Chain A
Amino acid sequence: MTYPYGLKSNPYPSSPTPTEHDAKILGGTRHQEAKAAIMECILDLYKKTSRRNSTENDFRLITVVQDVGSGKTHLALHIKTLKTRQDIVTTYVDLSTISPKTNESIYNAIMHGFSKEMFSELKREFLAQICEKAQKGDALAKKALGYGFIDKLKGVTIKQKAEDILYDKTPISAESLHGYLAVNYNQHEQVIIKNILGNSIDKITNLDELHGRLAAVARFSHNLLGKVILFEMDECDAQEESLNFVKSLINAHIPASILLLITTPSLYLDIQKANPSVFDRLEKANYKIDLAGANSVDELIEIALEYIKEADKTERFNKKEQQELAAKIKVLCDEFPEFRNVRSIINILNHAVEKASELGAQEISEAVIDETIKQTYPGLKIKGSIMEVPISDFIKIKRESGVTQIQVREAVSNLVNYAHEIGNISKSTKPNPSFDVVYSDPFGTKIGITVVMDVNHAKNFETISNAVKSSAFVDKLVILTNTSIPASNHATIVLVDKSKVIDLLYFNSKYTEHKIEEPESERVKMLAKTICVI
């Protein structure tokens, strides 16, 4: 199967919410800036704690507040997937998936949010420590590994015993381990080591245990792995349980850790009302990441292009193609508010790539977008379009219409021709230099039309005032313009907005190609009426 731009697969995800796999690609200036801010926070904390033991001062709070579908979760998962980074371990928790939100259920979610690799690394480190102590003759360490006289007789080494536990060939005895841990670690650390070596998670019964154990994980991660911990809490809401948990975690100041809270503006303001104390803490966050403009068209375009750029191994997706696709996305976003968010635009592009592949198109063309929208958003229409311009033609016209005055003039002239042909009016055969078109209506009124559509509105004012002077030559003067001007007693001013321009240009292309069919005839009449041509 071939995909557009020479791609080997569809680069756009189709999931309604991001997954860790989708989040590997992060595009968009604002999202990149947000990532840089989080990275700066991590690096700063990492540097401060790298050559000393961490303290309660080594805690940071980051808030990410933006609307649904703006890419907050994507950003959080992207940070989590940065496997190449040596300075963090991340746990991602979606608070909306936890019910009821008890300390125990949240603790379990946090522990399950860590990667298996982190626990494997810690297990290796703990066993190496026990092994070292055992080799130095520590009886409790030997006991913890289950190393006894028979092992010695058999020629089994302490290292071999440790490796058997590491690779889960022999389970560690909790009873034997207890003595060793009791001497070397505090109560919470003991539970964490026991859990890591035994591949289990013990329940917590109170808040003190929750903080103590998380602090133990953070300490081990910092001291043994040299990494700071990033707690990512997504969908933070204003429920009492959530807020109590967040408040306690901020107050606990887990050493060498960062708490990243993700929420929406609506929930953020709910938190303000529900718990001013928590809100005050959030307001004092070390980093407040806003993602302002995350759904702006420029940002959406950058994000959309990034997926193809990342997947394009052959560099076939060149600057020209990038600009063309960007222009098409811009038209889509400008015209349809439905697509003005990251998820929606990614979704439509996912379908568009599949459609292009199905049609054998080498790029995401207007026709491909048209077909895609027809299939995935069948009810979507161009707003304000009398001619019911198909989306593909609409995108094409919008992209191509630069200086429109000449095109609109030609379209209006042809609209009058058409009205003349179907017998609604009588077009004057003699050209009149004062007007673009002159015709007589069925009552014999002589009507002159002047099109004033320059991009320079000041120039339009001047042109219109000159045109009005010619009003005496006709019974009625109609001025079609894109400039909003005061009413005149000598002329009928018709404001031609963007949708009317598109309609006129679409009509013109149909008319010149002799492709106006019966159902369209009524729409053309309606268009002519709206701009006072008939």
Chain B
Amino acid sequence: MSSQILERVEASGVCGIKKAELKKIFGTECESSLNKLAKEEKIIVDNKGVAHYVWSKDNYLSHISQNDPKFKIISKQVQNLEKSLNQMRNDLTRTPTGTNIDFQSNFDTCISELSSSLGWVPFSNIREKLCESLEISSEKFYSLASSLVESNQKYEVSTGGQEGIHVRGMLHGYVRKL
């Protein structure tokens, strides 16, 4: 019986259905099923005017967001909050991508400008130049350089030097583009 009642309640949509009408359809013994469904939070029983009405959970949310001014305000505020959260999340994911593109092109330019005859450039020289032009910290530079070199087989790094990135526990202080 519970599933039949639930189906009937869902079918009644945002307007809900009078509890009395349900009793007419399913008989007075449906009271226990209604209580059970309400306990499981599958249906909501609330007053509309002077009568008791029954809604499915989704439909009840729609009903009160249309008719209850207090809920309307709270719902709008929650929606705004959700939007700001989404925006923040997207900003967070978008910012590094943008920086990466700038960083990579600047990084490549530095390599071609500073490279020796074999193409090798000390990371420290690139770091000095890029930290100044991109206004980024040393830590940020090495974090971006490290992920760029690791994800891209166009770059080759070599051990040695005073500063650089760590691969296999060894300091790699030189880089070049293949």
Chain A interface residues (CB < 8 Å from chain B): 65-68, 264-269, 272, 283, 288, 290, 292-293, 295-297, 337-338, 340-341, 344, 440, 444, 446, 476, 484, 486-489, 492-493, 495
Contacts and interface: CB of A to CB of B under 8 A. Distances in A.
B158 A264 contact: yes
Contact of A444 (B61, B91, B178): B61
Nearest to B60: A444
Given A265-B118, A269-B116, A489 B156 contact: no
Contacts of B157: 67
19 contacts: A67-B156, A68-B159, A265-B160, A265-B174, A266-B158, A268-B118, A269-B120, A283-B117, A288-B117, A288-B118, A292-B119, A337-B168, A338-B168, A340-B167, A344-B168, A486-B90, A487-B86, A487-B87, A492-B89
A489 B57 contact: no
Given A290-B118, A440-B58, A487-B87, A296 B153 contact: yes
Interface in B48-96: 57-58, 61, 82-83, 86-87, 89-91, 93-94
B174 A444 contact: no
Nearest to B79: A475
B20 to A, nearest CB: 25
B164 to A, nearest CB: 10
A68 to B, nearest CB: 5
Nearest to A484: B97
Interface string B12-35: 000000000000000000000000
A72 B89 CA distance: 48
B113 interface: no
B46 interface: no
B153 A487 contact: no
Given A65-B118, A269-B174, A337-B150, A293 B86 contact: no
A533 B94 CA distance: 21
Contacts of A272: 116
A67 B158 contact: yes
Given A288-B118, A292-B178, A487-B94, A265 B168 contact: no
B58 A264 contact: no
B13 to A, nearest CB: 14
Nearest to B175: A265
A266 B173 contact: yes
Nearest to B42: A426
Contacts of A493: 90
A453 B73 CA distance: 37
A25 to B, nearest CB: 24
A269 B118 CA distance: 10
Given A295-B156, A337-B168, A487-B87, 12 more contacts: A264-B158, A264-B160, A265-B158, A290-B118, A293-B156, A293-B178, A337-B150, A341-B168, A444-B57, A444-B58, A484-B97, A487-B89
B93 A495 contact: yes
Contacts of A67: 156-159, 172
Given A292-B178, A337-B150, A440-B58, A487 B91 contact: yes
Contacts of B118: 65, 265, 268, 288, 290
A489 B160 contact: no
A379 to B, nearest CB: 12
Interface string B123-152: 000000000000000000000000000100
B58 A446 contact: yes
A297 B116 CA distance: 25
B86 A489 contact: yes
Contacts of A267: 160
A269 B178 CA distance: 18
Nearest to A66: B158
Nearest to A68: B159
A212 B86 CA distance: 79
The 6 closest A-B pairs by CB, nearest first: A266-B160, A487-B90, A67-B158, A265-B120, A265-B158, A444-B57
Contacts of B172: 67
A81 B87 CA distance: 65
B95 to A, nearest CB: 12
A517 B123 CA distance: 47
Contacts of A268: 116, 118, 120
Contacts of A341: 168
A341 B82 CA distance: 47
A3 to B, nearest CB: 28
A297 B153 contact: yes
A493 B89 CA distance: 9
A490 to B, nearest CB: 9
A293 B153 CA distance: 9
| Best-surrounded residue of A440, A444, A493 (most CB of chain B within 10 A) | A444
Given A265-B118, A288-B118, A440 B57 contact: yes
A495 B161 CA distance: 37
Nearest to A333: B153
Contacts of A488: 86
A489 B86 CA distance: 8
A268 B87 CA distance: 50
Contacts of A489: 83, 86
Nearest to B117: A283
